[in-house]
Amino acid sequence: MKEDIISLAERSHILTKRQIIEVLQSESCDTELFAAADRVQRKFFGNAVKLVALLEFSNKCRNACFYCGLRAKNQKLSRYSLSVEEIVAHAQAAKAMGFSTIALQSGESLSYSRDDFLRIIREIKAMDMKLILSCGELDGRDLVDFRRCGVDGYLLKIETTDQQLYACMHPHQNWMLRNNTIHLLSALGYYTATGDIIGLPEQSLESVADDLLYFQRVKANFIGIGPLMTHPETPLRGEANGDINLVLKCMALSRLLNPKADIVTTTALEALAPDGQKRGLAAGANVVMPNITSEQVRKNYQLFTNKENTNIAVNGLQDIIRNIEQCGRCVSSDFKH
């Protein structure tokens, strides 16, 4: 029975691919699954929810991913790259708000030199903040140097473990290079963050199960699972958005399989449903990433439609905290608000 599989996962944190697929296919055990994920989350993290400031510092990207509004072929998007000084100023503002961790995210481009990154890293680390980067597939030598300079974590989603599907969605990109980079991050001692997209065309439950086992295999420290969210200037503009319940089930299974990992309730969940953040927390998540990007450029970080209006820290941080508290959770003690 599916309930027996869930009980096994809660006790042992091990499932086979077939068992994962059985749970994903079932429509009768969701309540038990989410309750088990919540118990495991509370066992390892208590009621605390970590807040990580998210700065989207550049929307320039050289890639042409079929689902992403930042794709290089989107000619209707106004491109920007914050200066080093602007990035540091945003970090200072995040520190003043109470954040102790900041994630710097961008499209994949050559807008910043190695020296630019090193300066940004040194100035943010001088603020006594933890720093996570998410800038695509950087050169291995840069990853070595950035780690030595103090970068704590790196976020690089595998997106999908189905290599054929990956190739269809990511023209001119190499799945194996991405996989190797994730393994390199772990070997270098990074807080290794990865994740996938649920709802891609032709995506099977078998490949989704492979994704969940992949997170466990690479010993991910942070897992971000989000739904496909379409954008009108992409080849997938006519596709349906991902199914929120399937995303939540994947998050819950990831919590059972990776009890000590940080799991984020993503901005895409909130964009998909008004109560998406709350439902993510109830499915085993323990991280929320409020967006601190200034309004002037935030509207142009268009991963998907309406993203710029979700999870905003400026003038909305207290609402985010209130939502967390309404879930019976509290903000982690490293957030000084």
What is the pLDDT averaged over residues 173-197? 98
For 30, counting Cβ atoms within 10 Å of its Cβ (0-12 exposed, 13-18 middle, 19+ buried), the class is middle
Mean of pLDDT values over 181-198: 98
Question: Model pTM?
Answer: 0.96
Indicate the residue type of 202: E
CATH number at residue 207: 3.20.20.70
Q: Percent of the chain at pLDDT above 90?
A: 88
Q: What is the pLDDT of residues 287-325, one digit of tens each?
A: 999 999 998 999 999 998 776 666 667 667 888 899 899
* 81 beta partners: 58
**C-alpha dihedral sign at 230, 234, 238, 239:** negative
Distance CA 318, CA 337 (A): 9
Range of the domain at 248: 2-331
Residue 240 tokens, joined: 């349906």
Residue 257 counted as domain residue: yes
By the 8 A CB rule, do 19 and 303 touch? no
Domain count, the chain: 1
> pLDDT for 7-59, tens place per residue?
999 999 999 999 999 999 998 999 999 999 999 999 999 999 999 999 999 99
Q: Within a domain: residue 151?
A: yes
- Residue 224 burial (CB < 10 Å; 0-12/13-18/19+)? buried
Average of per-residue pLDDT values in the chain: 95
* Predicted confidence (pLDDT) at residue 212 exceeds the cutoff of 70: yes
The confidence band for 110, taking pLDDT boundaries of 50, 70 and 90, is confident
User: Looking at residues 187-203, what average pLDDT do you find?
Assistant: 98
Residue 54 domain-assigned?
yes
Which pLDDT value is given to residue 1?
62
The predicted structure's pLDDT at residue 236? 97
pLDDT of residue 128: 97
Residue 336 within any structural domain of the chain: no
Q: How far apart are the first and last CA of the chain?
A: 46
Q: What is the mean pLDDT of residues 165-194?
A: 97
Cα 109 from Cα 25, distance rounded (Å): 39
pLDDT tens digit sequence for 222-250: 999 999 999 999 999 999 999 999 999 99
- Separation CA 96–CA 88 (nearest Å): 12
SS3 267: helix
Q: Does some domain include residue 246?
A: yes
Instruction: Compute CA distances 188 → 153, 154, 183, 260, whole Å.
Output: 10, 11, 9, 20
State the Cα–Cα distance between residues 208 and 250, nearest whole angstrom. Answer: 8
Residue 105, SS3 per DSSP: strand
Q: Token match 């003690």: residue?
A: 333
Tokens coding 305 = 């439609």
Closest CA to 142 of 121, 157, 170, 159: 121
Domain assignment present for residue 311? The answer is yes
Q: What is the pLDDT of residue 316?
A: 75
Question: How confident is the model at residue 11, as a pLDDT?
Answer: 97
Give 148-160 pLDDT, tens digit per residue: 999 999 999 999 9
Give the bridge partners for 197, in sequence order: 226
Q: How many CB atoms lie within 10 A of CB 31?
A: 9
Within a domain: 196: yes
Q: Is residue 337 part of a domain?
A: no
In 26-77, alpha helices (H): 30-45
Asked if 58 and 68 touch (Cβ cutoff 8 Å), the reply is: no
Nearest Cα to Cα of residue 5 among 18, 291, 166:
18
* pLDDT confidence of residue 325: 94
